[in-house]
Structure 1
Amino acid sequence: MSSSRPFRLLTISEAAEYLAISERSVKRLIARGDLPCIRVGSALRFAFADLEAFIARNRSGGMFG
Structure 2
Amino acid sequence: MDVAGATVAGVAMRDGLIDEYAVVTHPVLLGGGRPFFAALDNWVNLTLVETRTFPDGVVLTRYETRR
Name which structure has the greater RCO, CA cutoff 8 Å, separation 6+. Answer: 2
Q: TM-score, normalised by structure 1?
A: 0.25
Q: TM-score, normalised by structure 2?
A: 0.24
